[in-house]
Amino acid sequence: MKVDFRYLGRSEVREIAGGQALSFAPNLARSKVFFDAEIVHPLRFREAICALHDVVVGDLKFKKKDKGAYEAWKRDQAQKQEQVRQTLLDQARMRELAAVVKEPLPKNLKGDFQRMHRLYWDARNKWALELSRNDPELFRHLVPCDPVVTVAPDMVFFECFAKDESSYGFLGVDRGAFRTEAGAGLGTTNVDYSLALYEHFQTLRSYRPTRLLVDPSGFEVNIQGRTDYREEKIDLPASWLRGFGQLQAAMGLPSRRFELSVDVVYSILAFLKRHREKAGPRSLRFQLQPGKPPTVVLEPWGIPIVSHGRAYEGEKAEEIKVWGRRRLAPLARILPLAERFEVMLFGSGLPSVWTARMGEMRMVLALSGWTANDWTRGSNLDQFFADLQADPAAVDKLAGHLEQVRMARLTTLAEQTNVPRSVLMGSLHELARRGQLVYDFSVDAVRWRSILPVALSESMLGPEPAELVAGRRLAADPSTTVEREVMMARGARLVVANVGQSACEAVIDPDGSLTRAKCGCSFFYKNKLRAGPCRHLIALRSVARRSVVATTDRSDLTVHLMSGTYAELRAEADKRTVATGYVIEHAWRLAREAIQRTASLADPTQAAGVYRTPAKIPQSLSLPRALVEEIQREAARLDVSVSVVVEAAWSVAADQIRKSSSLLN
């Protein structure tokens, strides 16, 4: 995809009256975006923007061992006999250079330099074009995409991807961090970014007033004939845009959120800087226990680091491993500024999001599952969900609303736009795929941010993943069938199916998302769920939406159970990892005939020793509507409450259920 970049001059730190200005050259090929205000704390901004630079240039992918140094050493050994001759030759050259220094500089030196400089850049652009056609990976390494800056009503934020595309950086600066604001034009633009600009950052000082300037002058001056005006046509890879879509998909995954104190991140980075592991595992192992501060274990050394921040507030104890930990190195620069770190984990081998809170600034570092599994090609987070169908009308309505308000929280977005929640996530994901919005992990909101000045077509976004295409084909195959289903806690379902030549099973939540799964294919054996679900699990999810359990009309039944009965039901449900309602459903199937044959409720339950005692614990059960109606009819016939009928069914079937190894039969 060809993208035009037009810059007037280069981004730099330049001297102004009474101080200096950090001036970013915007992309003139886009709509006018500008910002001009004084930075209250220049040093804090310097450290934060330099940390973002470390993300931009980050590339930790495995590279083949370079034997060039060894071969050079061998050549050097072979040339030792010529060392004396080379020394004499160098001395002669020095005498010649000394004579040249005494001569005056050529009059046309500057013109010759500019002409040769133009030859260099023409050759480099030609070489980059050749690389983009024949070696896209090397092209992406040598020609990283410029960061984008967005001027929003409440903040100015920068975004970038690392060279290896496995790290995403977001630096947000609140408008309160600026003073004497001279003007702002809302929008998003690319900014000219170079190593020279990074070196200019180092000159920022607290004793010199510093202004942040997204320079609007390029939109207004006559650029014809300007020597500092340049146009670049970059073939932007579709994978770069896909990375933004994966970030949007990540927000819908179930996550574990907790805080880490700054000393924990410091200890991790300091230890990794001093030590290099020689064998695996090379992971950070998070030990999360409710009510206790999180513990991070550095593997393979087994060194625990306990946080001194807030306790973990999750529901159960877990251990989660994440890889690619050396990508956290950019956080070292902001450690003196950070107040705390907030971490989001999606599971072992899945992405992690690290948010550094720095008062008026916040930096988000989103890491893919591991370095080789980058955001743009290997994550496939959107495939964890049921097919995210985007409604064109809803997409247009959301785009218009977000372009106007610039930021909205998911909890209120559906109400503000009257978009049904069933299509909200799919429509937001479509906007993210087009590069028109970004999910701000630091405030749990979506922001309008058009990454490109043009609307993107499906052809520009690239082909769909191969596993997704194959999964849809398998779902249409009549041989793909659901064998068994179990209702679990919170409305989730355990589904077992035969897909093609593979037997697979998955836990599907009420939204249709995969939370746990198992398959016998080679793709799952190699990647588990870290690279997204395999084609068989995608097909399983599709056919599970049409299964009997999924299409059964369900209803809530409120009962008041005796404490002993409630404890027995909960123990049985927890042992089998299913919902309490499913245990009651199975008990009713076993006890239905006995209860329907009796004229008095005491008859079928006398052997079980049921005594009528006052109800104690209310419980809401999700059951098939037909089953609820059956229980209500029997309660009316026997002139008792539905709670008594439910307790009677459990009393009759309890022993048989306890002896059964499965509730599926």
Residues 29, 233: Cα–Cα separation, whole Å:
11
Measured from the Cβ of residue 74, the count of other Cβ atoms closer than 10 Å reads 10
CA atoms within 13 A on the CB side of 501: 2
3-state DSSP assignment of residue 465: coil
Bridge partners (DSSP) listed for residue 617: 561
Residue 629 pLDDT > 90: no
pLDDT of residue 373: 61
| Chain segment 43-101, per-residue pLDDT in tens | 888 898 888 888 877 777 666 777 778 888 888 888 887 888 888 888 888 888 777 77
Which two three-digit tokens encode residue 495? 């589904």
**Where do we find the tokens 């022993």?**
655
Q: Are strands 19-24 and 210-214 parallel, antiparallel or unpaired?
A: parallel
Q: HEC string of 610-624? A: CCCCCCCEEEEEEEE
From start to end of 62-202, where are the E strands? 148-151, 155-161, 167-174, 178-185, 187-190
Which structure tokens are listed for 153? Answer: 């009503």
Cβ 409 vs Cβ 403: under 8 Å: no
Most confidently predicted of 1-5, 7-11, 68-72, 646-650: 646-650
Give the model's pLDDT for residue 8. 61
- Gap between the Cα atoms of 208 and 41, Å rounded: 10
**Do 513 and 251 form a contact (C-beta atoms < 8 A)?**
no
Sheet order of strands, 481-487 included: 481-487, 493-499, 502-508, 514-519
Contact by Cβ (8 Å): 39, 210:
yes
Sheet holding 318-323, edge to edge: 303-306, 295-298, 283-288, 318-323
CB neighbours of residue 103 within 10 Å: 7
pLDDT at 609 over 50: no
Which pLDDT tens digit goes with each residue over 454-498? 666 666 666 677 888 888 888 888 888 888 887 776 667 888 888
Instruction: Give residue 348's pLDDT band: very low, low, confident or very high (50, 70, 90).
Output: confident
pTM over the 0.75 mark? no
What pLDDT score was predicted for residue 665? 42
Percent of all residues in the chain with a pLDDT value above 90, rounded to a whole number: 12
